[in-house]
Structure 1
Amino acid sequence: MTRSHAAKRWLTGLSITVGTITMIGCGSGGEDGGGRTAGIEGTGIVSGFGSVYVDGIEFETQGAEILFNGEASPESRLRVGDVVTVTGVVQDDGTARARRIVFNRTLEGPIEQITMENGIGTLTALGQTVNFDADTAFVNTPVEDLAAGDLIAISGFVGTDGAVDASSIEQGPVFQPNTTRLDAEGTARSVTPSSFMVEGLTVNYGSAIVDESAGTLEDGAFVEVFGVRDADNGAPLVADTVNVLGQNRAEDGDRMFVEAQIRDFAGLDDFTAAGWRIDASDAERLDDTGIDPGLNVRVSVRGTERDGVVRADTLAVEPNPNVTFEATVTAVDSTESTLTILGSTFDVPADTRYPVSGERLDEQVDRTLRLASLEAGDPVRVWAYSDDDSLTTRRIERVEAQNDAIALGAIDRVDSDGSSVTLEVAGTTIRTADGDPTVYYDSNGAEIDATTFKTLAVRGARIEARGPENAGEINTARRVQVLN
């Protein structure tokens, strides 16, 4: 089954938005490089390279200042999944050019505890709760390999409840107590002349350098702290630097883009995302997910800054992926922005992320993967959002070729014929056989017989199937596991 392609929202949305930027902003930024320009600023997640793609917008970086944790750095320090703030211009031909890209790590510290199921879960580090899910990029270590004591660096957003929603997690070197410099950000509470709290972390700052140029260190201030601590969980951080972070503020009339989870949701005319106040009451809705904007829902908005508020022209909900496929590419259509694998055709929007598997800072890797560089026969892993009408990619990763294809997602259709079962997941057909070669497992990983599997394999149940790829199907599956 090939699904319809109602979800071309981002490629279309980008061209509409860039056009709007140009029309509204013509002349507002003056002449730059021979074309009329409009200022553009915003916060988003790095989705790819070649140049730097942030929230689906391609920014040329030649001559741009790139700051990585406050230090001037090359573009190669950035990773897919990093949250960055970009200041630049959009020219009248629709191209964007970054003047400044700033990355500030949200948290760096040792894992105190971690729980997960199917790659989704929470961990605590430096007293802060960190949520990770299928949309989190794990830069150099699979999530299953992370354990208490591991030093990790996290990029993401701190919510009003103090929890961090991780967009990328990177494993660091071995944690050295009282030596490894750690980093955390959040809201300061119980401020005294020598200490304060950031969630469950006590910060002793009596001998620290305190930068209050953007605000005063007081209860409710959003701060970033650097320092060291000993090995005991719950030990205070002895800070050497405390930076009070001001609210995001663009020039009045600048074009804005914001990609983040919604906070402080009072309605479409008043909510916060990535620290920006947003009014999306008149925004054109670009997605067709059927998900209402609300607290903790990830959105992407584009608009204009007026009197400290982003007046959104467009809004789209960005749901977490609920389908994962690994197989070889059957077809690529760069004009229609579609990718076909395992008999299913995916819409590939402009903000699709292209992480590099196993990427490390000291590796020279090709980071220019985009839809146009894929060809039939390339092995890929695709994370996507599936609804009744369409499949929309969230991430595409090039992988090593495997003997078996993989399909993970909710069952759309199930048919039993004697000892065999035919399943459909996100448009892909999965054929099984009782005994040989298919082996069935329950959600605990225990082997079960075909009869028991048939009682569990109902429409809506999530499964993972592995087996040879034949004619756009998994036929015949070697392994099928019910996940819930």
Structure 2
Amino acid sequence: MQRSLINLSVIAGLLSGCGGGSSDASAPISEPVAQEPPASATTTVKSGVITGFGSVYVDGERYTTDETSITINGEAGASIESLKVGMRIALTSSDSGSTPGAATITYESDVEGVIQTIDRLSGRIQIAGVTISYDDLTHFIATSENTLSVGDRIEVSGYALADGTFYATYIEIENELQPSQSQTVSGVVSELDTTAQQFYIGSTLVDYSQASAEGALANGLQVKVEGLFSDGVLTAAELKVRVVSYEDNDDVAEAEIEGVLTAVDPASNTLELYGQTYTYTSSTAFEDGTVDDLLAGAIVEIEVAYANGEQTVTKVEFKKQNLADGKVKGVITAIDTEAGSITVNNSVYVVNNQTRYEDDDDQYVALSFLQVNDKVELVYQTVDETNIVLRLERENDEEYFAESELEGYVTAVTGNSITLLGLTIDLAAEALYLLDERRVTLDIFVAQLSIPAKVELRGNYDQNGVFIANRFELELEDDSDDDGDNDDDRSDDDDSDGQSKNGVYLEIEGRVTAVTGDGRFTLNGYDVDVNTASKLELNDLKVSVIEFMAAISDGTVVEVEGVLDAEGVLVATEAEIEEDDSESDDD
């Protein structure tokens, strides 16, 4: 078997005798295997992402929770209110009805720690050297993609990806907790050195010589590591190998396990997931892919049947990322419960059992809870000219009027406005225009627009209901391989595609690692230059270059927007320092 340095943070990996979930009548696998399981095998296990409540929905399937035992981060007896949309959980069920009941639900966070760096344009942060990506489907609690800050302590649930990064389905601020130096990351072991007692998770070196370890280490296995991070090394205090195994549990009849394939052997018809080898056959069904798509690194949900001491993969469903075609924010003007649709900005959007519902003020939100005039943010995918809602968030006034991002296809262009998502957006002269990540003039931007070009906007609604955009972004070059870009913010990686980065626009935040001269410092691996043309702020007050540099020393948190020059120096158009009396424990 060939191994890939990848894996997925599935909470079910922490369960050996109790796991994850049951299928209802609409689920993909009602008769998983020809052989009848023993009469005693009545339990179904499932792992997946919470998509809604009203009981609990996991990947669109409903499980009642009247008699459910809930464990969160090792603490039993938790309430259903402690669970959130976007959390990856494991559950067990012994019901075979159309709406099964969850006997147990277990949630275990994947990453906990302090944000070291932020790259806002690419949607990436770093914790303990591990790059974490987020997108329009990530559920943020008590924060947003625009308000995350270096020094924030967060909890993350999601997937460890093939490129060594981590994809977040859920991010929650934990700043109210007691300050802690401890960092926790999850990932796949690579370059294991049992003599030196160290290995890598992505680019982070883990020293486990002083760790309390649970499970046997091997390359390709997923681990969860807690320890102290300093100078690029995570010194582990606790280490747990995550393994999912049910074949020795006579109570388990079938399992639905979500994760990233770590190895595939077509010669023996086997695949590996969470340290376990599974056999697939000519009878195995495939959804959203074929047997040829079984590759190390693929994100899948496998359905496994257990009978007579054997386990067989009855179905493989490939989980696709970045399915969204657009993101819209507006007020609901019509609701059709029979059609399962809502109207926002004169466009119709349809919900289904896969739609994720979010409302930070109310856990229980669904189509039946929505009302005309509700303010919502929708992420959608267009299928056969129908807008399918992937994520729906009902927002309060503070969230609705805050700065946010919209994305959609242009339907009309004039010299001073564009129309998309049912909105007419003014093209302000003072706005920022990006073309293939480079800053351009308004005239150049408009000249490159076509119908239907896909444009991303940043801005906010005013009190009159008009969306005022301050940034417009258009990509003409093929970006189909963006998911494979595991670069962090360091400039030496940015030329790996062979293209010059001269003129590329960046928005980054991090801690200064060196002050190298008058008006120059190092941030997130970049040499940053501030000058008299830069807009500089200190605690929301405009300051001079001299005043700004006087406030900078090693460890100062700075947010910078600017353009890379031919030498790779980030020339700041804007830079900001927000001084805080409290000290952050980021490393």
1:275/1:15 Cα in 2 relative to 1: closer, same or farther (>3 Å)?
Answer: farther
2:82 alignment counterpart? 77
Counterpart for residue 119 of structure 2: 115
In structure 2, distance between residues paired with 1:332 and 1:28:
48
Q: Distance in 2 between matches of 1:432 and 1:173?
A: 37
Cα distance, 1:44 vs. partner? 0.6
Q: Which residue of 2 aligns with 1:33?
A: none
3-state SS, counterpart of residue 372 of structure 1: helix
Aligned partner of 2:66 in structure 1 is 62
Task: List aligned pairs for 1:49-448, cutoff 5 A.
Answer: 49-72=53-76, 73-92=78-97, 94-117=98-121, 120-173=122-175, 179-188=180-189, 189-192=191-194, 195-199=197-201, 200-206=204-210, 208-212=211-215, 216-227=216-227, 229=228, 232-239=230-237, 241-249=238-246, 254-259=253-258, 264=263, 279=280, 304=305, 307-312=310-315, 317=320, 319-357=322-360, 365-387=361-383, 389-401=385-397, 408-414=406-412, 416=414, 423-424=419-420, 428-431=421-424, 441-443=432-434
Q: Over the residues paired in the alignment, what is the CA RMSD in angstroms?
A: 4.3
Task: State how far apart, in whole Å, the 1-side matches of 2:114 and 2:281 are.
Answer: 39
Alpha-carbon spacing, 1:225–1:446, altered in 2? closer, same or farther (3 Å): closer
Which residue of 47, 50, 56 corresponds with 1:46?
Answer: 50
Greater Cα offset, 254-263 or 144-153: 254-263
The code of the aligned residue for 2:242 comes to: L
Q: Distance in 2 between matches of 1:134 and 1:280?
A: 36
Does the aligned pair in 2 maintain the 1:126–1:201 contact within 8 Å? no
CA distance in 2, matches of 1:109, 1:281: 44
The residue identity in structure 1 corresponding to 2:354 is D
Partner Cα distance (2:467, 2:234) in 1 = 52
Q: Are the counterparts in 1 of residues 192 and 200 from structure 2 also a CA contact under 8 Å?
A: no
Q: Which amino acid aligns with 2:368?
A: A
Residue identity in the other structure for 1:324: K
CA contact (8 A) 1:22 1:91 kept: no
Per-residue CA deviation, residues 145-183 of structure 1 (Å, 9 max, x unaligned), is 223332221111223443222111122227988x54432
* Whole-angstrom distance in 2 between the partners of 1:482 and 1:150: 28
Larger radius of gyration: 2
SS of equivalent to 1:455:
helix
- How far has the Cα of 1:405 moved from its partner? 12
Q: CA deviation at 1:56?
A: 0.7
After superposition, the C-alpha distances for 1:428-450 in whole angstroms (9 at most, x for unaligned) are 43346788xx986523898966x
Counterpart contact for 1:431–1:475, Cα < 8 Å: no
Q: Distance in 2 between matches of 1:304 and 1:104?
A: 25
- CA distance in structure 1 between the aligned counterparts of 2:427 and 2:242, rounded to whole angstroms: 61
Decide whether the 8 Å contact of 2:51 with 2:59 is kept in 1. Answer: yes
Q: Given residue 256 of structure 2, which amino acid in structure 1 is its aligned partner?
A: F
CA–CA separation in structure 2 for the residues paired with 1:453 and 1:218: 51
Describe the superposition over 1:356-400 as per-residue Cα deviations: whole angstroms up to 9, x where unpaired. Answer: 34xxxxxxx420001111122211111112356221111111113
C-alpha distance after superposition, 1:297-337 (max 9, x if no partner)? 65556564574443117667464323111111122233332
Superposition TM-score, scaled by structure 1 size: 0.73
- What is the aligned partner in structure 2 of residue 5 from structure 1? none
Measured in 2, the distance between the counterparts of 1:46 and 1:388 equals 27
Aligned to 1:464: 457
Number of aligned residue pairs: 432
Paired residue type of 1:483: E
Partner of residue 10, structure 1: none
Cα distance change of structure 1 residues 296 and 217 upon mapping to structure 2, 3 Å threshold? closer
CA distance in 1, matches of 2:143, 2:51: 19
SS at match of 1:97: coil
Encode CA deviations 1:95-123: one digit per residue, 9 max, x unaligned. Answer: 12111212121111222222121xx4222
Residues 354, 396 of structure 1: 8 Å contact kept: yes
Higher alpha-carbon deviation: 389-398 or 185-194: 185-194
Q: SS at the partner of 1:454?
A: helix
Shift of 1:80: 1.1
SS at 1:483 equivalent: strand
Instruction: Return 5+ residue gaps in structure 1 as ranges.
Output: 1-12, 31-36, 358-364
- The sequence identity of aligned pairs, in percent, is 20
Query: How far 1:201 sits from its partner (Å)?
Result: 3.5
Query: Is the Cα–Cα contact under 8 Å of residues 47 and 351 in structure 1 kept in the other structure?
Result: yes
Q: Secondary structure at the match of 1:96?
A: coil
1:20 aligns with 2:30: yes
Contact 2:332 2:374 in 1 (8 A): yes
SS in 2 for 1:43: strand
CA distance in 2, matches of 1:116, 1:466: 14
CA offsets, 1:401-424, max 9 Å, x none?
5689998333253354xx565634
Q: Which moved more, 1:388-397 or 1:156-165?
A: 156-165
CA contact (8 A) 1:420 1:431 kept: no
1:280 and 1:315 in contact (8 A); partners too: no
Give the AA of the match of 1:413.
T
* 2:459–2:471 contact (8 Å) kept in structure 1: no
Q: What is the CA distance between 1:83 and its match in structure 2?
A: 0.8
C-alpha separation in 2, matches of 1:15 and 1:339: 27
Query: Quick one: which amino acid aligns to residue 447 of structure 2?
Result: T
Inter-partner Cα distance in structure 2 for 1:294 and 1:221: 16
Aligned to 2:493: none
Quick check: 1:324–1:384 contact (8 Å CA) kept in 2?
yes
Q: 2-side partners of 1:175 and 1:45: how far apart?
A: 25
Compared CA separation, residues 270 and 66, structure 1 to 2 (3 A): same
With over 3 angstroms needed to count, the CA separation of the structure-2 counterparts of 1:445 and 1:439, relative to structure 1, is farther
List runs of 5+ in structure 2 lacking aligned partners: 1-22, 475-587
Q: Which residue number in structure 2 is paired with residue 34 of structure 1?
A: none
Aligned equivalents of 1:88, 1:430: Cα separation in 2: 46
